[in-house]
Structure 1
Amino acid sequence: MMENALTVLNMTEAMLWHGFLVFLRIAAAVSILPAFGETTVPPRIKIGIALAFTVIVAPALPTFETAQPSFEVIAKYTLTEGLNGFLIGIGVRMFVMALQTAGTIAGQSTSLAQIFGGASGEPLPAIGNVLSLAALALAVTMGLHVYVARYFIGSYILFPAGTFPVVEIMTEWGVAQVASAFSLAFRLAAPFVIISAIYNLMLGVINRAMPQLMVAFVGAPLITAGGLFLLFLVAPALLTLWWSALQGFMINPTEGLQ
C-alpha cells in the first residue's frame, strides 16, 4: 500500500515538474501573443490562458530529461524557456506588427493618419486600428487557440527545452520573419499606395492645367472619402490574405529556414 502511494506521489511530482517547465515557455509567449497578450487583457486573465494552454500542450509532449528540481535547475529553465517563449511569441506578434505597418502606410497615403488614431492601446492610424481589431476578431473566430496550441507543441522542435536558442538558427529564422512581415505589410498596403499615386498624379496634372484652382481644397476631401471607400472594398481580401499568412506560419514556423 505504501509502495503504491509512493509511486503515485512520484508520478504526480514528475507531472507537476513537467507542467511547470511547459508553463514557463507558454507564459512568456502568451504575454505577447495576438489577442491573448494584448495590453487590454488583465494579467490574471493572461495567467489563466497560459495555464489552460499548459494543460493542453503538456500531455502532448514527452517527458523532459532533467535533473531533480533545485535552485540551479529552476533558474536555468526559467532563463531558457522564458527566452524561447519570447521568441516564439514575437514570431506570431510580427504579423500584427505587419498589419499595423500596413495601416500606417495606407493612412499616410490617404490622409487618414490622425483620425481616431488613439482609439486603441497603441497609437495607430484609423486604417491600422480598424484592420488590427478586425484581424484579431477574425483570428479568434477562425480558431486561433487551436493553431496556437499546435504552434507551441511544434516549437520544441525548433527550440528544444532547457537549451538556449542556437545563434545561427535564431538569426536566420528571425531575419526571415522580419523580411516576411515587411513584405506582407507592403502587399496589404499596395491598393492604397497605388490609388494614392494615381490620385496625386491626376492632381498634379489638374494643377498644371488650372493654376488658379485651389486643388488642395478639392483634393483633400476626395482622397479621404476615397480611402474610406477603398477600405470598405478591399478589407475582406486583406484580412483573408493576412489570416492565410498567419495560419501558414503557425502550421510550419520553420518555413523560412533553409
Structure 2
Amino acid sequence: MAAAEAISLLQTQLWLGFVVFLRVGAAVALLPGFGEQSVPMRIKLVVAIAFTLIVAPALPQEPPDLSINSMVLLVATETVAGVLIGLGVRLFTLALQTAGAIAAQSTSLSQILGGAAIEPLPAMGYVLSVGAIALAVMAGLHIKAAHLLIHSYVLLPMGLFSTGSDVADWGLTQVAHAFELAFLLAAPFVLMSVLYNLALGVINKAMPQLMVAFVGAPVITLGGLFLLFLAAPIMLSVWLAALDQFMASPFEAQR
C-alpha cells in the first residue's frame, strides 16, 4: 500500500516537473545570456532542467489534473506562457542592440566589425550587448529569472490561456517601451551628431574651399568612441535598472 502511494506520488511529481519544464524551457531559450545562439543546446537543456528543479518545488498553487487528457492543453498553455515571459525579457536585449545601431549610425561606425556576432551588429551594439549580458549575470540574472518564473504562476496560472486582447496590449506596451529605452540610451550620440553636423555645415558655408568631409570623418569617429567610453557605464546602469523593474513586475505598465 505504501509502495503504491509512493509510486503514485512520484508519478505526479514527474508529470508536474515535465509541465514546469515546458514553461521554463521556453523562457530560458529566450533569456539573455542563457538563450544566446552561441550557447550550445546541451548547455541550454542543463540550464532549463536546473531552473525546473528550482521552480517546481516553489509553485504557489496546487498542481492541476495531470492526466493524459489534459496534457495537450498544458503543453500549449505552458509553452505560450514561457514564450511570453522570455520575449518580454529578450526585448531589453533588442532595445540595447537598437540603441547601439542608432549610436553607430550617428557616429559613422555602423560598418566596423559588423559581422563579429552571429547576428550582424554594429560595433557599438555588439560591445553594449556583451557588456549588458555580463553585467546582468553578475547582478544575479539567474536569481531574478527564478523569481520571475515562480511569480509567473500567480500572474499566468497553469493550464489557462491569457486572452488575446490582454496579450496584444501587453506586447504593444513592451515593444513601445523597448524602443523608448533604445532612443533614450542613444540620445547622447544623436545629439552629438546633430550638433557636429550643424557645426560642420557652418564651417563649410564659411570656407567652401575646405574639404570638410576629409576633416570631419575622423573627428566624428574619434568623438563617437570617446563618447561611448564616457556614456557606456551610464547606459548599462539605466538598462539594468529597467530590466530589474520589468522582472520585478512584468505585467504592470512601464513608466
With the length of structure 1 as denominator, give the TM-score of the two structures.
0.96
The alignment of Structure 1 onto Structure 2 pairs a total of residues equal to: 254
- Deviations 1:167-215 (CA, angstroms, capped at 9, x unpaired): 1221121111111101100000001000000000000000000000000
Give the secondary-structure state (helix, strand or coil) at the position aligned to 2:247.
Answer: helix
Give the secondary-structure state (helix, strand or coil) at the position aligned to 1:161.
Answer: coil
Cα distance in 1 for partners of 2:181, 2:66 equals 44
Aligned to 1:178: 175
Aligned to 1:231: 228
Aligned to 1:38: 36
Quote the offset at 1:135 in angstroms: 0.2
Q: What is the aligned counterpart of 1:29 among 27, 33, 39?
A: 27
What does 1:62-101 correspond to in 2, within 5 Å?
62-68=61-67, 70=68, 72-101=69-98
- Deviations 1:12-69 (CA, angstroms, capped at 9, x unpaired): 111111111100011111111110000000111111100000000111103322142x
Q: What is the aligned counterpart of 1:138 among 135, 140, 154?
A: 135
Amino acid at match of 2:55: V
- Deviations 1:149-169 (CA, angstroms, capped at 9, x unpaired): 011111122322112221122
Amino acid at match of 1:50: A
Aligned to 2:11: 13
Aligned to 2:150: 153
Cα distance in 1 for partners of 2:175, 2:155 equals 17
Task: Check the 8 A contact 1:30/1:89 in 2, yes or no.
Answer: yes
Q: Pairwise CA RMSD of aligned residues? A: 1.3
Aligned to 1:50: 48
Select between 59-68 and 211-220 the one with higher mean Cα deviation. Answer: 59-68
Cα distance in 2 for partners of 1:73, 1:42 equals 32
Asked whether 1:121 is paired with 2:121, we answer no
Cα distance in 1 for partners of 2:212, 2:157 equals 61
Aligned to 2:204: 207
Amino acid at match of 1:181: A
Q: Which runs of 4+ in 1 moved over 3 A?
A: none
Task: Check the 8 A contact 2:12/2:66 in 1, yes or no.
Answer: no
Amino acid at match of 2:79: G
Amino acid at match of 2:153: Y
Quote the offset at 1:7 in angstroms: 1.4
Aligned to 2:162: 165
Task: Check the 8 A contact 1:18/1:63 in 2, yes or no.
Answer: no
For structure 1, the 5+ residue unaligned runs are none
% same residue: 57
Cα distance in 2 for partners of 1:205, 1:155 equals 56
Give the secondary-structure state (helix, strand or coil) at the position aligned to 1:23.
Answer: helix
Give the secondary-structure state (helix, strand or coil) at the position aligned to 1:117.
Answer: coil
Quote the offset at 1:136 in angstroms: 0.3
